[in-house]
Amino acid sequence: MNMRIVSTVDEIRNARLILDGTVGFVPTMGFLHAGHLALIRRARDECRHVIVSIFVNPTQFNPNEDLAKYPRDLKRDFRLIEPFTDLVWTPTPEIMYPQGYQTWVEVETLTSPLEGAARAGHFRGVTTVVAKLFNIIQPTKAYFGQKDAQQAAVVRRMVRDLNFPIDIVVCPIVREADGLALSSRNVYLNAEQRKAATVLFRSLSAAKELYEAGERDAEKLRAKMKTVLASEPLAKSQYVSCADYDTLDELTAIKGKALLSMAVVIGETRLIDNFVLAG
């Protein structure tokens, strides 16, 4: 396969126009890992053509966050995706947000809790850039990771509310052998922190064990996760949640499909992880 790399809007539009049949699209911020590759391989399996975008979107970082130091390695990214990808688009911030830019897409209720509460403006940046990418790429299907569970829910909601003619496919979390969810931010962890980082998986697993033993009191699952997190001195919990899978409302009693999720800071690095309880 001959992967084509383009950067302007006109180039990607023209390259897209000559693709016939189904187009699978994987939006990324680069520094790709096996989690991204699972999305791209799934797109390859399901669609005639695969388009990947690599864009570290400034509008989804708030001023206190790690935009400038977000890890980047385009050459390595290209090498990794080349076997599976027809077309890769790497726009600049100036291409995506030119002088005078002033339009925003916002999902309301679903963006309030969890990541939305911890990261002001984050989801407005996500939904805006995804809407732009969808309008430019015009994919048949778009692929997102379950790792960013709330993002997947918010994008699904936006697509339904604004009637984008696109199927959203959410793919399972890819993990290291010891359970750590793959993330571009894992490179920030030193050896000691890396070891401590398994506490997210361990605490989710402990809560799931309770659930599988029959526990349906959401507060008991949250308490279990907190206890396990508290046992790791390097980990500072930001939130711990047991919520309805669709609305993300915190639950009292677990009845249907639910989401266990958490954000934990280790050193300077903020990690998130989640399990779905199938209901």
Under the rule (CB under 8 A), what is the footprint of its own copies? 9, 13, 101-110, 127-128, 131-132, 135-136, 138, 157-158, 161-165
Q: How far is the CB of 178 from its own copies (least distance, A)?
A: 38
Q: Which is nearer to its own copies, 97 or 275 (CB)?
A: 97
- Of the pair 153, 272, the CB lying nearest its own copies is at 153
Q: Shortest approach of its own copies to residue 245 CB, angstroms?
A: 14
Interior/surface letters 241-268, b for 16+ CB within 10 angstroms, e for the rest: bbbbbeebeebeebeeebbbbbbbebee
Provide the pairing of β-strand 258-266 with 235-244: antiparallel
According to DSSP, the β-strands at 49-54 and 87-89 are parallel
Backbone angles phi, psi at 40, to 5 degrees: -70, -40
**Which candidate in 33, 36, 49, 122 is catalytic?**
36
Task: State the burial class of residue 156 (Cβ atoms within 10 Å of its Cβ: 0-12, 13-18, 19+).
Answer: middle
* Cβ nearer to its own copies, comparing 89 with 201: 89
Which residue(s) pair with 240 in the sheet?
Answer: 262
54 or 262, CB closer to its own copies?
54
Q: What angle do CA 104, 265, 69 make, to 5 degrees?
A: 60
Query: Minimum CB separation from its own copies for residue 90, in Å?
Result: 16
Least distance CB 40 / its own copies (angstroms): 23
The rounded distance, in Å, linking the Cα atoms of 39 and 4 is: 19
Nearer to its own copies, 10 or 212 (CB): 10
Q: What is the DSSP letter of 174?
A: P
Q: Is 36 a catalytic residue?
A: yes
Least distance between its own copies and beta carbon 146 (Å): 21
| Helix/strand/coil for 246 | coil
- Residue 226 tokens read as 């907190």
Separation CA 36–CA 42 (nearest Å): 10
| β-strands 4-6, 87-89 pairing | parallel
Q: Which residues are catalytic?
A: 36
